[in-house]
A and B are shown apart, each in its own frame.
Chain A
Amino acid sequence: DIQMTQSPSTLSASVGDRVTITCRASQSISSWLAWYQQKPGKAPKLLIYKASSLESGVPSRFSGSGSGTEFTLTISSLQPDDFATYYCQQYNSFPTFGQGTKVEIK
């Protein structure tokens, strides 16, 4: 299985901050990486696929980059609606998720 490791586990930030979350794969996954946002009690929402492609309807303040084993999700200017938990997921093989990064209010 491909292991996905996110950092940090928790991130405290303020509205307007630039936020970056890192995801590392235990082996190369090319660009087969997706990012999801999950709010408490809700299902995950797809944000980004193929490492950097923005899902339709997702605000442009979200962006993704990386390839191989290291990836990042960046929120250029954090908005109140963005406080949530974010998961990376590889789909190079049977899908596996990172453990999540909670973005909380500072």
Chain B
Amino acid sequence: EVQLVESGGGLVQPGGSLRLSCAASGFTFSSYWMSWVRQAPGKGLEWVANIKQDGSEKYYVDSVKGRFTISRDNAKNSLYLQMNSLRAEDTAVYYCARDWGGTTVINVFDYWGQGTLVTVSS
């Protein structure tokens, strides 16, 4: 069974940093593009970033470029999101999601974690 379990969320002050993790199991993690998608409270979904199987390609939504870094450790079946210079507008539930395309990036998400809440507030 495919499972994605996020952790690392919490309350952080504006300008602070946080590192999210996503532990994957039930599939060959190293064969899939992976993404982070966020959802502000009561709002819609926003794709944040994705990363190729070997980490050689990474893409970000404009609003987080230069502040967030996506990475992965295939030996640990884990996906990460390092978030720096956090702003109030980054407050959201952050989901990790598997790309349905496998080795080919499609940007359709067939499995999602349960999400971890990041709150940016003083």
A residues sitting closer than 8 Å to B (CB atoms) are 1, 34, 36, 38, 42-46, 49, 55, 87, 89, 91, 94-100
Contact = CB atoms under 8 A, between A and B. Distances in A.
Nearest to B61: A94
A97 B100 CA distance: 16
B69 to A, nearest CB: 17
A79 to B, nearest CB: 22
Nearest to A97: B45
Contacts, number: 47
Which of the four size classes fits the interface of chain B?
A: 10 to 19
A96 B47 contact: yes
B61 A46 contact: no
Interface string B80-115: 000000000000000100001000001111101111
B110 A55 contact: yes
A87 to B, nearest CB: 6
Interface string B30-55: 00000100000000111100000000
B112 A95 contact: no
